[in-house]
Structure 1
């Protein structure tokens, strides 16, 4: 039997309205038309404008990036649920994009965000102010307690490290920088406070610190064993001086007991297609709830 929804969709083209039918209960309606849709996962679609007849390879990478980002976010959301995570350490939180995404995907446990840059910190606090389970710390994390200069003015790419020669060729923003001193603390020194009130903590560590992830990880010391899962941006091509290569970082994480559950491209070279960085999602298999087998 044809539903009222289907009858309505069938009538719209006669009124000059274009319809892109996505299946039961879902459609894109527009007077301009020309939309395309790509199925992502479950009931999720990516809808965009009409593709040109001759599309360059560079244009195509935008779709690849969006698809990888969506798949990574959903993968992490599933991992948090499967491993019964009740506290996410969001290191390099910037304006709170990661925390907001977690909430949108259904995570309701505690979020502990770290961000030392004043402008981003103000936006982060705004994002978290109405969320009683979202805590914000105004400092960076690293291998040791110190105060260091952070390079600013690079939007979401502010870093405690200087840009590499490759990074300077790739991003014009690296040529215009200012420095500001920020406080750095060790992760293992703040974990007890951050986890206070959680009876049986099952934390997850997310790091996005523009080449500084391994320093953050080192600062967790023996407390790395407390994390049931983790996420790190690993570099195939180095954007920052002194940042570890992907194989070096993954080897360190594996030595600490984590195994890869997903790898998602973050950025690519438009001309060559080479991946610059991956989001590497990992979990400690021994920490998986016994119901999973």
Structure 2
């Protein structure tokens, strides 16, 4: 014998009402659009309108992530618990391994640096090789509110950098490069984010087609120690951090700090395992120079890897001066 509830469910469709019976005395009624049920664990249901397919990934006993896509996306997401941090990593199981690893390294490096800037009470970041301001924007997104001083010598990139920083009074920009000696020099440009004062190596030319189109631009080079007073002006207790991404020229920038390198509480440098530029230092040479000046490695993150062999081409090397850590 049918209950009154069940009888009503059977009658409603004749009256133009859509019925989605969820069982256990629960139903969803709608006038327009067919509803679909997707089970979410044992205690919940996802009710959607239309014929789209959804994938439900359980993150914690009381937390699910719902994704919509074409076809059947079930099983497309992988949930990984990150130790005892309470954090979880969700990623598309179909992601290319190399692309996924490099993206994860970029994310981890950014958060590592942001944490160190806070821990070491950094109030001025020297952004050398700023390009269009990507690094400065990332720092702001990660919560850094102190001063950023960016250096970019090429005309096109500097225009974009100026635009990125124009509404940020604590982000200063300068249209020149930094190096060992003050000079005017030709810079290889037209290589997008890889413009360099050094020519491409044979390995670099083989790896990147962009190196085949070579043109130069005259740029100004200053020493780091000659601009520090202006960059740090107004800070009562300067605690600077040096980020270098100059396509093989980082050690020249570092040398230009002279004895004032001792004022920096940390640094970040792109170090090469496989050299893309003629005359650039290898990773061991660069790291040794930084260590000789009192910096110790806190993190190494791959920037690029070879598709065919998996070898790392360059690392982002993050280093801090342990003696500068606040007590």
Q: C-alpha deviations, 1:253-291, integer Å up to 9, x for none?
A: 00000000000111111111111110000000000000x
Q: Which residue of 1 aligns with 2:152?
A: 115
Q: 1:30-41 counterparts in 2 under 5 A? A: 30-32=68-70, 34=73, 35-37=76-78
Q: C-alpha deviations, 1:27-61, integer Å up to 9, x for none?
A: 3431426343565966574544x618xxxxxx421
Structure 1 CA distance for aligned equivalents of residues 261 and 45 of structure 2: 54
Q: Counterpart of 2:220 in 1: which secondary structure? A: strand
Higher relative helix content:
1
Q: Which residue of 2 aligns with 1:276?
A: 313
The one of 80, 87, 100 equivalent to 2:117 is 80
**Structure 1 unmatched ranges of 5 or more:** 53-58
TM-score (norm 2): 0.80
Q: 1:132-211 counterparts in 2 under 5 A? A: 132-211=169-248
Structure 2 CA distance for aligned equivalents of residues 148 and 80 of structure 1: 33
Structure 1 CA distance for aligned equivalents of residues 231 and 44 of structure 2: 53
**After the TM superposition, which segments of 4 or more aligned residues of structure 1 sit over 2 Å from their partners?**
5-17, 19-29, 31-48
Q: Which residue of 2 aligns with 1:56?
A: none
Q: CA RMSD in A?
A: 2.2
Q: C-alpha deviations, 1:209-268, integer Å up to 9, x for none?
A: 000000000000011000000000000111000000100000000000000000011111
Q: Shift of residue 146 of structure 1? A: 0.3
8 Å contact from structure 2 (residues 52, 68) kept in 1? no
The one of 264, 278, 282 equivalent to 2:301 is 264
Q: Which residue of 1 aligns with 2:27?
A: none
The higher-RCO structure (CA 8 Å, 6+ apart) is 1
The one of 106, 110, 135 equivalent to 1:98 is 135
Q: Which protein is bigger by CA-based radius of gyration?
A: 2
Structure 2 CA distance for aligned equivalents of residues 268 and 287 of structure 1: 33
Q: Shift of residue 180 of structure 1? A: 0.5
Figure out how many residues of one structure are paired with residues of the other and give that number: 279
Q: Does 1:18 align with 2:32?
A: no
Structure 2 CA distance for aligned equivalents of residues 168 and 17 of structure 1: 46
Q: Shift of residue 75 of structure 1? A: 0.6
Higher relative strand content:
2
Q: Counterpart of 2:234 in 1: which secondary structure? A: coil
